[in-house]
A = this chain, B = another copy of it.
Amino acid sequence: MFTFAARFLRSETGIIRVDVKNVLGRDIPAEIENYGRVKPYGGAFRLKPENKLLSSLDEAIEKTGLKDGMTISFHHHFRNGDKVVNLVMEAIRRKGIKDIHIAASGLFPCHDVLVPMVEDGTIRKLTFSTIAKGGLTAAIMDGKFREPCVIQSHGARARAILDGDLHIDVAFIAAPCCDTGGNMCGIGGKSNCGLLSFAYADAAFADKVVAVTDGLTSAGVDSVEISHDHVDYVVEVDSIGDSEGIMYGSTVPSDKPEKLRIAEMVALLLDKSGYIKDGMSFQTGASSIGLSVATYVEKVMKEKGVKGSFCLGGITRYLDGMINEGLFEKAQSVQIFDIDVLKTLSKSLNHIAQGSDRYGNPRNPNALVNFLDIMILGATEVDLDFNVNVITSSSGRIITAPGGHTDCAAGAKIAVVVQESIRRGASTICDRVCCITTPGETVDVLVTELGIAVNPLRQDLVKALEGSGLPLMTIGEMKALADAKATAGAGELKTGGRIVAVVEYRDGSVIDVIRQSATE
Identical chains in the assembly: 2
Question: Is the Cβ of B512 less than 8 Å from the Cβ of A47?
Answer: no
Contacts of A442 in B (CB 8 A): 44
A436 touches B (CB below 8 Å): yes
B49 touches A439 (CB 8 A): no
Is A318 close to B, CB under 8 A?
no
Docked Cα-Cα span, A51 to B366, in Å, equals: 10
Selected from B22, B357, B502, the residue in CB contact (under 8 A) with A229 is: B357
Interface locus among A32-40, A320-328, A394-402, A467-475: A32-40
Q: Do residues B358 and A228 form an inter-chain contact, with CB atoms below 8 A?
A: yes
Closest-by-CB residue of B relative to A355 is: B227
A 167-199 binary contact with B (CB < 8 Å = 1; else 0): 000000000000111010000000000000000
Q: Are B32 and A513 in contact (CB under 8 A)?
A: yes
Q: For the complex, what is the distance from the CA of A262 to the CA of B223, rounded to whole Å?
A: 37
Whether B499 contacts A29 by the Cβ 8 Å rule is: yes
Chain B residues whose C-beta falls within 8 Å of the C-beta of A410 in the assembled complex: 44-45
A365: Cβ under 8 A from any B Cβ = yes
A29 to B50, CA, bound (A): 49
Given contacts A32-B499, A222-B352, contact A509 B22 (CB under 8 A): yes
- Return chain B residues, CB-CB under 8 Å to A28: 510, 512-513
Residues of A328-353 contacting chain B, CB below 8 A: 330, 332, 347, 349, 352
Cβ of A52 under 8 Å from chain B? yes
In the complex, the answer to whether B146 meets A365 with C-beta atoms within 8 Å is: no
> With A228-B358, A511-B22 in contact, is A50–B365 under 8 Å at CB?
yes
Is there a chain B Cβ closer than 8 Å to A380's Cβ? no
Cβ of A285 within 8 Å of any chain B Cβ, yes or no, is no
A175 to B367 CA separation, bound complex (whole angstroms): 19
A residues 47-91 near B (Cβ < 8 Å) are 47, 49-52
Interface contact B510-A366, CB-CB below 8 Å: no
Interface size on A, residues (CB 8 A): 79
Within 8 A of B (CB), among A411-455: 436, 439, 441-442
**Residues in B neighbouring A257, C-beta threshold 8 A:** none
Least Cβ–Cβ distance between A512 and chain B, in angstroms: 5
CA distance in complex: A33, B49 (Å)? 47
The 8 Å CB contact of A35, one of B150, B355, B362, B366, is: B150
Residue of B nearest to A362 (CB): B47
> A282 at interface (Cβ–Cβ under 8 A)?
no
Q: Given A44-B439, A505-B41, A509-B41, do A181 and B364 touch, yes or no (CB 8 Å)?
A: yes
Q: Which residues of B contact A302 (CB under 8 A)?
A: none
Residues of the B chain whose Cβ atoms lie less than 8 Å from the Cβ of A109: none
In contact, B35 and A148 (Cβ under 8 angstroms): yes
Q: CA–CA, A219 to B279, complex, Å?
A: 12
B358 touches A40 (CB 8 A): no
Q: Verify A162–B507 contact, CB threshold 8 A.
A: no
Q: A29-B499, A49-B364, A180-B365 are in contact. List 8 more A-B contacts (CB 8 A).
A: A32-B148, A34-B147, A38-B502, A50-B365, A179-B366, A218-B366, A222-B332, A227-B355
List chain A positions with a Cβ less than 8 A from chain B.
Answer: 22, 24, 26, 28-29, 32-35, 38-47, 49-52, 125, 146-148, 150, 159, 162, 179-181, 183, 204, 218-220, 222-224, 227-229, 330, 332, 347, 349, 352, 355, 357-358, 362-368, 370-371, 385, 387, 410, 436, 439, 441-442, 499, 502, 505-513
25 examples of A-B residue contacts, CB within 8 angstroms? A22-B511, A24-B385, A24-B436, A24-B439, A24-B512, A26-B436, A32-B148, A32-B510, A34-B147, A35-B147, A35-B148, A38-B510, A40-B510, A41-B510, A44-B506, A45-B410, A46-B507, A47-B363, A181-B366, A219-B366, A220-B368, A222-B352, A224-B358, A227-B355, A228-B357
